[in-house]
Amino acid sequence: MAIFERSHGTVYTGVTLNLLAVTAALQYCIVGSLLCPNTHVIGLSGIVFSFFSYIAYKEHELKPVIFTFKLSGREYSIPTLYSPFVFLVVTFILLPSSSLFGHLAGIGSGYLLGMDKLKILYPPSKIILFIEQKLQKPISLLDGIVVYYKEEDAIATRGVSYNPLLSQDVESAVNSDTLGVHYRGEGHVLGNNASA
| Residue 106: closest CA among 63, 183, 43 | 43
Q: E strand or H helix at 76, and its extent?
A: strand 74-79
What's the CA gap between 56 and 82, in Å, rounded?
7
Do residues 4 and 13 touch, judged by C-beta distance below 8 A? yes
Nearest in space to 11 (alpha carbons), one of 146, 149, 135: 149
What is the C-alpha separation between 47 and 8, in angstroms, rounded?
17
Taking the C-alpha atoms of residue 18 and residue 80, their distance in angstroms, rounded to an integer, is 25
Return the SS3 of 67: strand
Q: Which residues of 53-73 are buried (b: 16+ CB within 10 A; e: fewer)?
A: bbbbbbbbeeeeebeeeeeee
- As annotated, the active-site residues are 45, 103
CA distance 43 to 41: 7
